[in-house]
Structure 1
Amino acid sequence: MNDLDNHGLPLSTSSDLAAGRYRHGVDLLLSAWPGAAEALDEAIATDPDFALAYAARARLHAVRSEIASAKAKIEKAEELVARHGTERERSHVQVLSLAINGQAARALARALQHAEQWPRDILILSLPLGAFGLFAFSGMADHDQARVDLCERLAPNFGADDWWFITYLGWAHTENGNVTHGRDLTERGYDLRIENANAAHALSHAMYEGGANEDAERLIAGWLPRYDRAGILHGHIAWHSALAALERDDPARALAIYADHVQPSVSNGMPVNVVSDAASFLWRLQAYGHTVPAGLWAQASSYCDHCFQRAGFAFADVHMAVIAAAVGNRQAVEERVQSLTDLVETGALAAGPVVPAICRAALSFFDENYADCARILEPMAGEVVRIGGSGAQREMIEDMLLLSFMRSGNTAKARLLLDQRLHRRPSPRDTRWYATLAA
């Protein structure tokens, strides 16, 4: 052992070159930047006994939904770290192994324990954070607050110039409703490392949540060309720009962004992003009164044939149901609802009954049975957060309820919900809808 990681933690490797490639690879992984795989592979090739390099490579495989490769790499890391790893490295590998092998609840508990003992081990600290982190997908109703609490508790371990931590601290505050503070922090993190897709993503969210859609569009238009299309967040960050275009009632621009960057045939994103981005964009486009060009829903449905067929991943289940309902595949929605209901009854679905409820509501919405959609969603409105993802992503469900109120003639409840939304975040779209109700 003769080297340290980028946060001063010892690395069990005999090679300075391997340690250097590992440090670079982890930075690229944590900034969702292309080149991480190559850097980590070089670290492994230089020192085939470097357990943490295998573990980081396993994490990158998992992010890419390359599960078989992830499991093979983490198994190798476990074998190596048992022979000559430190206590911190053994714990590090164990946490990643639990996450990769689908033991999310245990992974979250162990990650939090690990972070308290080794707070600067940021690859492990990153696991509970983010829109798709272990907190978000835990089924907790207060996961936004939990992220803030964790970050604030550990903040003294990081300096004001730590690009990774400042970015995630800002993200946590933004998602928890402290948008101005969150944006200030995130802009600082973005300025510290512009070649960081997670920072551009988090800043886009902060701008959207603050009603600064024009700022978000300018940010993305200026930043996205520097990010290779192979980058895992390329399509999703473009999705944010498409949403901003819809907000200002420019469906032609929104569709152009979708066609160039977001639709399944062009996106290199994680399957969960590809499915959710396609479903939520096309749903919004149609629900806001615009025409979805022929073939787009079918393309999204075709992509779905290869992923998330088994119910139980709440965030994906909701978006899979929206796509199936959009193409008229009632049987697929009903079968997913039944499977989810069975999981709820056995206690195996952490997010609970809100998940099958949203799936049923989506079917009613596409059937134009808006009263039924509202009846299903209204009592679940406070539980939608349990499916995970971000506020911007979950807003589709709130829009579904709001439009169902409006279209079923329940103007009083529609106006109340719009009042709450406009108080929370200025929105040209909500202002237009409010004018419709007033007329």
Structure 2
Amino acid sequence: MRVARNVSPRAAPGQRETLKPSGDLKPDLTTIVTRVSAPPEPRCLVPAPRRTRPTVVIVGAGASGTLVALHLARTAGGRSTAVDVVLVDPADRWGRGPSFGTTDDQHLLNVPAAGMSVLPQDPAHFVAWRTRENPENGSDPGAFARRREFARYLDETLTDTYQGPPGDFASLTHLRTRAVALRRTTSGMVVATADGRELDADAVVVATGLPAAGHAWAPEALTDSAFFVPDPWAPGALDVVRRDRSGPGDVLLVGTGLTAVDVALSLTDAGNREDRVVRAISRNGRFPRRHATELKLAAIPDVSDWGDDLPSILDAAARHLATVRRDSGDWRPGADGLRFQVSTLWDRLSESDKLAFATEHAGAWNVLRHRMAPSSAALVAGLRDTGRLVLDAGSVLGAEPLPRGGLRVRVATGDDSQTSYDVGWVVNCTGPRADIRTLGDPFLDDLLRPRGGAALAEVATAGMGVRTRNGRLVDTEGRTDAPVWTLGALRRGELWESTAVPEIRSQALAVATSVLDTVAPQPRRLADGRLVSGHHPAARPRDPLGLPLSTTAEAAAAYNAGLERLMRLQDDVEVPLREAVAHDPDFALGHATLALLGHEAGADADVQASLEAAQRAVVTRGDERERSLVDVVAHRVRDVRHKGARALMNHLATHPRDILAVSAAVPTIAFSGVTDVQQEAWDLVEGLAPAYGDHWWYISLLAFTRQDQGRFEEAGLLAESALSCEPSSGHAVHALTHVMYETGQHESGRVWLDHWVAESGRSASHRAHFSWHAALHELALGDTEAVRQRYYSQLAPPTVTGVRALIDSGSLLWRWRMTTSEAAPPVQPVLDAVDVDLVERPQTPFVALHAAITLAGADEHARLAALARHCRSSSEPAVRTVVATVCDALLAAGEERWADAVALLDDVLPVLVQVGGSAAQREVVEETLLYCLVAVGAAERAGALLDARLERRPSPLDQRRRGDLSVTVG
């Protein structure tokens, strides 16, 4: 790997330059070069179309360009693909730009640290970096870091990436010059720079953002004045204002967004005149709202029925915000959740509706969406209270110079009158000019210049950037064949929300992946086994993770729809799968998937017929992975616990990106998995990281693993990151529900979960389990009436039957009986809704445990004793030992032999983890122990158990129980 920074030697005018790895560039006094010996070129399975490594030129080295360079290296390293990356930007360092170039420590990020990781698969990355930098104060995920601190984080992360393993395949060069033009050649693109270079590129990424502040509102008399600051983010722009002591002390800010907040803080601190009053005006006369002191989960709405016209969408959005505020006491989670659906809603609008929103409603949205850090809001409130900061609605009409410096500015106020202010300075805080056609930027103008009958780019709505297809530029003829991509602010016209780091990091990863797929496509395998170029027209269709499918495009589309529903934990997975095999009756993988889901996930499928169809089809059409998976399904149908588990793990060792295989292997609410051993399940999920990287589905699975490990903060961040990519991810929601329960967030957890189920989770499978989680929150709050209503409406048979009735309904009723004095609903209907074999002859430790609990709840002591005998004869060690002991303890409790029950439960609790399931599910056994301790008169010991639990998490129910015990002991 080689990294070259700040390379700026001039080429002769018109000189054509093909960039080499940065070690070939001769350093001068402004060059910092880091060299690490480069490895041999990676072996290629297919000859590359070019003899040299592909070169990607990124125009712009601010946050967007830096993030693209970062993900190019990480993605290239993961693929063992060589690539040379060139950043073109006159800035002296990458990762700055207008947003993060400030050196004022009062300028804070307007997103908490938890949302600012540059790595989607590691949402705690920035928090961890801050913790290393500042162990005492950097670990708070809800903190709002300094902007310059984030710039340093970007800088160090990019540098470390290229100096680490990804740098074995990627080189990075920073050219300190400005790109001014772009033209297409027969082999790629050429970027022309202001210093006369011409850079050959296989692909170009336009990451300029909006490079010019807009001040078209300002009259000529103002723009011509030396006392007008057109761009407060220009280096040193505010220094002279802070030093000025000669003219009027007051300063007028035009614009009242986050820029105005930062500028106001900079111009009123200790380094400024004490007599200064900062006046801020805008058309609406509103400052941004403040962030909440404590982080809350975003309430993401289901917008499928919100309509496609602006009035309908605005009405639905208002209802959503009102509902969230009513249910949670705060509108902010509603606004944060709406943010994730904005691009979907924006895409539905007509051009006229988009223009109407941009001109009439954007200001109101921005006030809610782009909020102040709480500490900044407190400072602003203090300045306003003391009269040093004044906020008004108004617009500038004219300006004239004052005799001793400064300006008299005429302002139209909101009541159709005029006033004037004598100020020392006027600072433009209206932000960048949105219409790229008016920026006067040579490079962007060149993108819009027609050539050969078409321009490389076409402007998007209201000139807010350019049109793309998933980030790749669409020319004025609707084509996307030029290897040019963009992201960030230049996609605002087609996405609306496209300027914050959470959006840009996802776009950067997508752009990096698309670029490498284009300039260095991975080889693909044909049905006959031949390896061909990734662009080969005969290459087979792919599944959602890129694995080839031996079927038709039509069948593949239906099959992928089914897999995506499985990944999101949605119901009716078998419907599109049946469509797939109807389109292609010889689609072996389609038949095999139906057989597996019918056997293990309760899908409506003829398991044996589907398996036989898969076995017939795969003989004539199927690659090695597909043959292996069909064989796995056959083994699992015959023996899911032993030979089937071994076959599945062997398959995963060779094919870790096989979605169906991973789904069946990992213990979740959808599948029992291949192991009940907690550490083995953790190792399985963590071992898949290299195969999945940033994918939201894998992050969702990892989030659940992290909560199982007690790493709740990390689990929450991972789950939120996954939900920001896929709001319907049931695995991510499941992880978050556990996090909220284990950290005592019972009221907010119940409200958030109910909202998700009603919105993004409308199609969720296993809704009963999510209802069980909500009921646990209500039980912990001591609200048994709410638990009763939820049970009868969402958990009682016939709404819930089968194994879920045992695991969710039966266990809830037993927990209710163990923790409260109020009568619970009868358990017998639950038993009646479950197959007898599932209750009396369960095959897995987890199901056996819940069969025992449900039988105890129904006072079916004879059947419970028979279950205990069945467990002791089981070949499963955990069933034979752990579950059998629980059965004996429940029998003892049923016969009021409390001391025996306590002794047995004391023996079994340390090894209860062997049965599998989550800590929240296994806690029902500890509740049984607490009940028995109180019954036997061991109140002090019961109190100690409750104290230990209350140290882990608050619970009104447990606090009340603890208080009752104290009265008993006293």
TM, length-normalised to structure 1: 0.90
AA aligned opposite 1:37: E
Contact 1:131–1:388 (CA under 8 A) maintained in structure 2: no
**Alignment match, 2:140:** none
Deviation string, structure 1 residues 230-251 (Cα, Å, up to 9, x no partner) = 7531111111111110100000
AA aligned opposite 2:804: N
**Alignment match, 1:302:** 832
Q: Cα distance 1:413–1:67, how it changes in 2: closer, same or farther (>3 A)?
A: farther
Deviation string, structure 1 residues 346-384 (Cα, Å, up to 9, x no partner) = x44454311111122222233333222111111111111
**Alignment match, 2:899:** 371
**Alignment match, 1:177:** 710
AA aligned opposite 1:153: G
For residue 306 of structure 1, report the CA deviation from its aligned partner: 4.4
Alpha-carbon distance in structure 2 between the residues aligned to 1:352 and 1:134: 22
Deviation string, structure 1 residues 41-80 (Cα, Å, up to 9, x no partner) = 1100000011111122123213443698223322322232
Q: How does 1:8-407 map to 2 (within 5 A)?
A: 8-13=546-551, 15-65=552-602, 69-131=606-668, 138-140=675-677, 143=678, 145-160=679-694, 162-226=695-759, 231-267=764-800, 271-292=802-823, 296-304=826-834, 306-308=836-838, 309-343=840-874, 347-407=875-935
Q: Cα distance 1:116–1:358, how it changes in 2: closer, same or farther (>3 A)?
A: same
Q: Cα distance 1:36–1:52, how it changes in 2: closer, same or farther (>3 A)?
A: same
2:880 is paired with a residue of what secondary structure? coil
Q: Cα distance 1:174–1:208, how it changes in 2: closer, same or farther (>3 A)?
A: same
Contact 2:889–2:905 (CA under 8 A) maintained in structure 1: yes
- Larger helix proportion of the pair: 1
Deviation string, structure 1 residues 313-359 (Cα, Å, up to 9, x no partner) = 3222222222222333221111111111122xxx4445431111112
Alpha-carbon distance in structure 1 between the residues aligned to 2:881 and 2:861: 20
Contact 1:26–1:56 (CA under 8 A) maintained in structure 2: no
**Alignment match, 1:431:** 959
Given the alignment, which residue of 388, 413, 418 partners 2:941? 413
Contact 2:728–2:761 (CA under 8 A) maintained in structure 1: no
AA aligned opposite 2:966: A
Alpha-carbon distance in structure 2 between the residues aligned to 1:289 and 1:207: 22
Alpha-carbon distance in structure 2 between the residues aligned to 1:329 and 1:138: 30
For residue 133 of structure 1, report the CA deviation from its aligned partner: 7.4
Length, aligned pairs only: 428
Alpha-carbon distance in structure 2 between the residues aligned to 1:432 and 1:409: 18
Alpha-carbon distance in structure 2 between the residues aligned to 1:342 and 1:402: 29
Alpha-carbon distance in structure 2 between the residues aligned to 1:323 and 1:153: 36
For residue 139 of structure 1, report the CA deviation from its aligned partner: 4.2
2:664 is paired with a residue of what secondary structure? coil
Q: Cα distance 1:101–1:423, how it changes in 2: closer, same or farther (>3 A)?
A: farther
- Larger strand proportion of the pair: 2
Larger Cα-atom Rg: 2
Contact 2:778–2:784 (CA under 8 A) maintained in structure 1: yes
For residue 228 of structure 1, report the CA deviation from its aligned partner: 7.5
Q: Cα distance 1:225–1:322, how it changes in 2: closer, same or farther (>3 A)?
A: same
Q: Cα distance 1:377–1:133, how it changes in 2: closer, same or farther (>3 A)?
A: farther
Alpha-carbon distance in structure 1 between the residues aligned to 2:601 and 2:581: 19
Alpha-carbon distance in structure 1 between the residues aligned to 2:799 and 2:672: 30
**Alignment match, 1:5:** 543
AA aligned opposite 1:127: A
AA aligned opposite 1:302: D
Contact 1:322–1:363 (CA under 8 A) maintained in structure 2: no
Unpaired segments of 5 or more residues in structure 2?
Answer: 1-526, 528-539
2:782 is paired with a residue of what secondary structure? coil
Alpha-carbon distance in structure 2 between the residues aligned to 1:201 and 1:292: 29
AA aligned opposite 2:900: D
Contact 1:364–1:372 (CA under 8 A) maintained in structure 2: yes
TM, length-normalised to structure 2: 0.42
Identity, % of aligned pairs?
30
Q: Could you tell which deviates more after superposition, 317-326 or 329-338?
A: 317-326
Deviation string, structure 1 residues 155-175 (Cα, Å, up to 9, x no partner) = 122232x12101000001111
Contact 1:67–1:100 (CA under 8 A) maintained in structure 2: no
